[in-house]
Chains A and B, each alone.
Chain A
Amino acid sequence: GAVVSQHPSWVICKSGTSVKIECRSLDFQATTMFWYRQFPKQSLMLMATSNEGSKATYEQGVEKDKFLINHASLTLSTLTVTSAHPEDSSFYICSAPISGSSYEQYFGPGTRLTVT
């Protein structure tokens, strides 16, 4: 079946640096992808909707200048956490909807970001 991959699976960075996370749809095209953040023992929180060829749509309270999203192709969306701080440490997950079934989505394996 369709697979969504993420890279890296985990990353440790120093405070103030930027980190890029990639989300790829491996055998299907995704004009839309979603980015979620999940803190330990909590549920997933939608951060933004990534649209191929256009600007991302951010959820209320998510800083678009801090979480840069680029959806440059039909199979790749990237999330860049700029000037990372320890409070940005979290589990970041992307997803892509299955064509014709919006509520059935493929999720990536997630990226664990730790900011020291």
Chain B
Amino acid sequence: LAKTTQPISMDSYEGQEVNITCSHNNIATNDYITWYQQFPSQGPRFIIQGYKTKVTNEVASLFIPADRKSSTLSLPRVSLSDTAVYYCLVGDRARRALTFGSGTRLQVQP
């Protein structure tokens, strides 16, 4: 499994765009990049998944450069309710169990 590296924490203010970058230098050809969000005392929630270039859904965008050695989760116009821990996961879709890294603790201030 490719190891991921994320910033431990980030601070932002309401209304700002937040970009969280994840490094995965050893990503394999078959690996996908997936992001999860976790609020305190809750199970994680799937945010977005991608393989290359850009993926966008109603919640976030995921930018993946051509070399795929990193990825950036972009949260547009964050609100206080976006305060959570965000996990970047990389792995083969065939492997069903998830390996969570340390995650990024995002704190959104008013």
Please tell me the size bucket of the interface on B: 20 to 34
Whether A110 touches B96, Cβ cut-off 8 Å, given contacts A43-B101, A104-B49, is no
Residues of chain B with a CB closer than 8 A to A94's CB: 43
**Which of A13-21, A67-75, A80-88, A95-103 lines the interface with chain B?**
A95-103
List residues 61-105 of chain B with CB under 8 A from any CB of chain A: 87, 89, 91, 93-103
Q: Contacts A43-B87, A91-B41, A110-B41 given: A104-B46 contact, CB under 8 Å? A: yes
Given A43-B103, A104-B49, A109-B42, answer yes or no on A34-B97 (Cβ-Cβ < 8 Å). Answer: yes
- Give, as a whole number of angstroms, the nearest-CB distance from A110 to chain B: 5
Interface of B is mostly: loop
Residues of B within 8 A of A95 (CB): 43-44, 98
Q: Which residues of B contact A112 (CB under 8 A)?
A: 41
Question: Contacts A43-B103, A110-B43 given: A102-B93 contact, CB under 8 Å?
Answer: yes
A12-45 to B contact mask, C-beta < 8 Å, 1/0: 0000000000000000000010101000000111
Write the chain A residue with the least CB distance to B91: A103
A93 touches B87 (CB 8 A): no
Closest 6 pairs (CB-CB, A-B): A107-B43, A102-B96, A44-B100, A103-B34, A43-B100, A93-B43
- Report which B residues bind A (CB closer than 8 A): 32, 34, 38, 41-46, 49, 87, 89, 91, 93-103
Other A-B contacts than A45-B100, A107-B44, 4 sampled, CB-CB below 8 A, are: A32-B96, A102-B94, A105-B46, A109-B43
